[in-house]
Amino acid sequence: MKTLAKCQAGIRASLEPAEEPLCLAQYLPGVGAYGLLLVTNRRTAEVKGGQFVRQLRHDEVAETKLGKMPNGNTLVTIESTAAKLDYRQNDPKRFEKIIFLEVATPRIGNAICAAINQFLN
């Protein structure tokens, strides 16, 4: 909750007119730190310090996937169309077009994927 409280003003300022938040989830981006993932009716964005640091519009998302981390947490992968079509599987630049999130439970991962998948063709 502290992460959300710190970022709330920045998130509100970054929203476009008529953009509505649909899902907000806290994830584990690294040791001792937390980040937020915001899914709106227009895009999915990683939020750090109240700023959108990485985002994909819904028309840029190819698919979402769930996996399992070695520590038992859930891995959420949000892959862009560019990552699938414009880069080879082993090209490091491909990973710049993918959002990877580690979340605590499969339920959180399922909620994120469901919020995004409703906009996929």
Residue 83: alpha-carbon gap to chain centroid: 15
pLDDT digits (tens, 9 = 90+) for 62-91: 999 999 999 999 999 999 999 999 999 889
The domain locations on the chain are 2-117
Under the banding of pLDDT at 50, 70 and 90, the label for residue 8 is confident
Q: Is the pLDDT of residue 4 over 80?
A: no
* 2 exposure class (CB count in 10 Å sphere: 0-12, 13-18, 19+): exposed
Question: Residues of the chain with pLDDT > 70: what percent?
Answer: 93
**What distance in Å separates the CA atoms of residue 4 and residue 60, rounded to the nearest whole number?**
26
Cβ–Cβ under 8 Å, residues 45 and 121: no
Q: Which helix (H) or strand (E) holds 34?
A: strand 33-40
Decide if domain 2-117 falls under CATH 3.40.50.960. no
SS3 97: helix
Q: Residue 46 pairs with which residues in a beta bridge? A: 37, 54
Q: Is the pLDDT of residue 32 over 80?
A: no
- Average pLDDT of the segment spanning 19-30: 85
